[in-house]
């Protein structure tokens, strides 16, 4: 009986990779955007379009690369147990000002469908905390995005 348990555990151990494959900045950013998009359990076409536009513009991707990164981001989020892996990549590749810009991008996704769901708000707030974005910068980013998108305060 003990041998069967050892065999079972060794199979489990060998099937799990020791370290997940590294991800690049654009995939990590895409994963955070996907997480915000999915927060309210309602994936709007405007949110999908917004993520694509933001990835193209801010990661300098062509249409094909953008599609691949978006698909990879969705898969990464599906397989993730938390968001720390993505936040770590973003934090390691950005300074304080750039992290505030990332929060603006996340707000753009959250507001893409013209409304802000409380779960989207919570998700962006949580990510801002994990990215060490000051509360004042978090609020300023939110207000700036609302102004750019022409949404009421």
**What pTM did the predictor assign?**
0.84
Report d(CA 124, CA 130) in Å as an integer.
10
Hey, where are the domains in the chain?
A: 23-148
Residue 132: per-residue pLDDT: 96
Query: Each residue of 35-51: pLDDT tens digit?
Result: 999 999 988 889 999 99
pLDDT-based confidence at 66, cuts 50/70/90?
confident
CA distances from 132 to 62, 68, 76 (A): 31, 29, 23
Instruction: Look at domain 23-148 and name its CATH class.
Output: mainly alpha
Residue 126: per-residue pLDDT: 97
* Tokens matching residue 21: 């494959």
């Amino acid at each position: 009986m003990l041998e069967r348990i050892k065999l079972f555990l060794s199979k489990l151990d060998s099937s799990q990779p020791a370290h997940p494959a590294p991800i690049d900045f654009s995939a990590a950013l895409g994963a955070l955007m996907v997480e915000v998009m999915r927060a309210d359990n309602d994936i709007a076409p405007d949110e999908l379009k917004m993520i694509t536009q933001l990835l193209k513009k801010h990661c300098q991707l062509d249409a094909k690369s953008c599609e691949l990164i978006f698909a990879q981001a969705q898969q990464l989020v599906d397989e993730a147990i938390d968001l720390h892996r993505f936040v770590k990549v973003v934090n390691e590749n950005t300074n304080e000002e750039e992290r505030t810009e990332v929060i603006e991008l996340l707000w753009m996704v959250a507001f893409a469908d013209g409304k802000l769901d409380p779960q989207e708000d919570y998700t962006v707030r949580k990510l801002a905390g994990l990215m060490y974005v000051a509360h004042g910068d978090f609020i300023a980013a939110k207000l700036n995005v609302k102004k750019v998108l022409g949404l009421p305060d």
